[in-house]
Each structure stands twice: as C-alpha cells, then as structure tokens.
Amino acid sequence: MKIFEKIETQMYNLIKIYRWRVVSKLLDVDCKTLLDIGCRDQFFYNRLKDRYRVTLADHVPKEDLIKKENVQNLTFGDKSFDIVLCQQTLEHVLDPIKAISELKRVTGKQLIISVPHEPFFTLFRLLCWQKGHLWAITPKILKFYLDAPTYEKKIFFKRYYIAMWRFD
C-alpha cells in the first residue's frame, strides 16, 4: 500500500509544478497583495513571497503562517487583495456557490481558480474518485457565477481546469 501512496504523492507534486507553470504566467506583476486560500502545503507561497505581500489562509492551518479562514465566510473586507488564488479547494467545501461569491468579493483585480475537471461520466472519475471531494465544480458553474473568464485552460491530460477573471 505504501508504494501507491508514494506514487500518488509524486503525482500530486508533479501536478502542482505543472499548475505553477500555468498560474505563474497569469499573475499580474503590477499587483502588490495576494491571498492564497486553501494553501495547506505552502507550495505556491515559497514561489510568491518575494513578489507579493502574501496572505495564506486555510480552514485547517498546518503552520502558524497560515490564517484560519472559512472560504464560505471570509473575514477580509471587500477587495482586500489584488490577486486571489483558490486552487483545488472549491470541491471540498459544503457551499461552493457561497465560496465563489466570497472569493469574488475579496478580489480587487484578479481571481485565479483551479478545480479538478471531472466530467460526470469519465472512467477516471469512476475509478479514482477523491473521497474528500463533495462536488464536481465544472467550468460551466464557474462561468455562470463569475461570467466568462479572461483566461481558461484544461491541463494535465485535461484533468484540471484553471481559469482567471479580471475585475479592474
């Protein structure tokens, strides 16, 4: 069983690196503040901390640097951050629609969201459903609540969806 856990960890690390390559090109270099919500392992923080004033938030913080926040009811004021990153988080919350609304509310300029792209009847989904996923957040749902994104892409064999919205 440990061999499968090791393979899974290596695969998720590979996906994070690939996602970073996409997201890093989207980030507005003129922005100053950034919220990384759902940042449990601080993977992006280590790459962002020299460019932005980064606030880390997660509902179960593992480090003192991470603020305890509920993405469905954020304590930050309207437009508190130039950039908001929410990656692989919405599929885990009880009310993703409320979370999407909160993300938009605290975003000043740029919102970047990534979610698993899990079309309902895919073989992969049937074989490897993530136990912690409460919802399949589709691009259609994000577009309904946030309008058409400025940028969108399906990555890693179309298994993940990344989108960026501008609110200038």
pLDDT digits (tens, 9 = 90+) for 145-168: 999 999 999 987 778 899 999 998
> Which residues, in sequence order, are CB contacts of 161 under 8 Å at separation 6+?
114, 115, 116, 117, 138, 139, 142, 152, 153, 154, 155
Nearest to residue 132, comparing CAs of 94, 85, 86, 84? 94
Give me the domains of the chain, ranges plus CATH numbers.
2-166 (3.40.50.150)
Looking at per-residue confidence, does 87 or 122 come out higher? 87
Range in 6-20, 51-65, 78-92, 101-115 the model is least confident about: 6-20
